[in-house]
Amino acid sequence: MAIEDVLFLPGFMCDERLFAPQTLALKSAGFCCQTGDYGDSASTERMAREAMRGVSGSVALVGLSMGAIVALEIWRQFPKRVTHMALLNGTARADAAGPSRKSQLRQVVEGGLSTVLRQELAPRYFAAGHNSEHLTALIASMGQRLGPEAFVRQSVALMTRQSQLELLASISCPVLVVAGDEDAICPLPRQEEMAAAIQAAELCVLSPCGHISTLERPERVNAALLRLLSKPADQSSNVRTAVFNRQPSRKGKGEKQHGYQ
């Protein structure tokens, strides 16, 4: 297998630990991995530019949640440099969680970052049975490391982002779309929407799984990423759909929930 650069793009208030299992698996398979740095960006457009600043040549993108939004923006700005794209637990729609974000921003500005991370974000991130104290502590640790100023910047970036739905049809590289069947933030219909609109997309539905697929179902995500990266970079047809451990779907599940991404 040829060595290829892989750029991990973290989700909201997360760092490289979000992709620890994937980094280990891909490095063991011969890939060069790095995690994008958004710097002091307060827009998804600038996040994309900052994340690509440390990348030379072409790259495969792996983004989760906000990171998937940034991956789409990287495609918009640098399409010739993207060989493969994995969109995990993301959405191409504009933000619909303004009131919730504003409430959280007020709490964080008043010193309540830990409370928001532990009591408002982490409880909604994981599927039933995965919401352990270990994972909650990790979400809190990553967020605390980034700090309240990053919380404000990233919240503003998400609130002000534009819809990327019209961009999807232009994507010609191999794409993996990963969904969690219990994702309350970016529910399954959002992933199905993206996979249907992208020419070379593979939809991977994980069960049971919530919003943080890389930590909840790491082995499945690793296998799907390795399969994606084994595809020729110029593949732009033959759409496939893979479903792993998917339970019978309930029509409209998650559609009425108000997510943060």
pLDDT digits (tens, 9 = 90+) for 25-34: 999 999 999 9
Supply 210's token pair: 């919530």
The predicted model scores a pTM of 0.90
Neighbours of 244 (CB within 10 A): 16
Listed residue (59, 61, 4, 60) closest to 32, CA to CA: 4
What are 104-155's pLDDT values in tens digits? 999 999 999 999 999 999 999 999 988 789 999 999 999 999 999 999 999 9
Say how far apart CA 209 and CA 207 lie, in whole Å: 5
What are 4-32's pLDDT values in tens digits? 899 999 999 999 999 999 999 999 999 99
Supply 222's token pair: 């690793």
The amino acid present at 10, given as its one-letter code, is P
Supply 76's token pair: 């918009």
- Contact criterion met (CB below 8 Å) for 55 and 5: yes
What pLDDT sits at residue 261? Answer: 53
- Contact criterion met (CB below 8 Å) for 257 and 184: yes
Confidence band for 3, pLDDT divided at 50, 70 and 90: low
Q: What does CATH list as the number for 1-261?
A: 3.40.50.1820
Listed residue (40, 1, 6, 75) closest to 232, CA to CA: 1
Listed residue (44, 83, 49) closest to 65, CA to CA: 44
What pLDDT sits at residue 245? Answer: 38
Give kind and range of the element (H or E) at residue 189.
helix 188-197
Least confident of 22-26, 211-215, 232-236: 232-236
Say how far apart CA 190 and CA 23 lie, in whole Å: 26
Q: Is the pLDDT of residue 218 over 50?
A: yes
Q: How many helices (H) and strands (E) does the chain have?
A: 11, 7
Pairing between β-strand 82-88 and β-strand 59-64 as defined by DSSP bridges = parallel
* Angstrom distances, CA of residue 111 to CA of 41, 104, 129, 225: 21, 11, 30, 38
In terms of Cβ atoms closer than 10 Å to its own Cβ (0-12, 13-18, 19+), residue 260 is buried
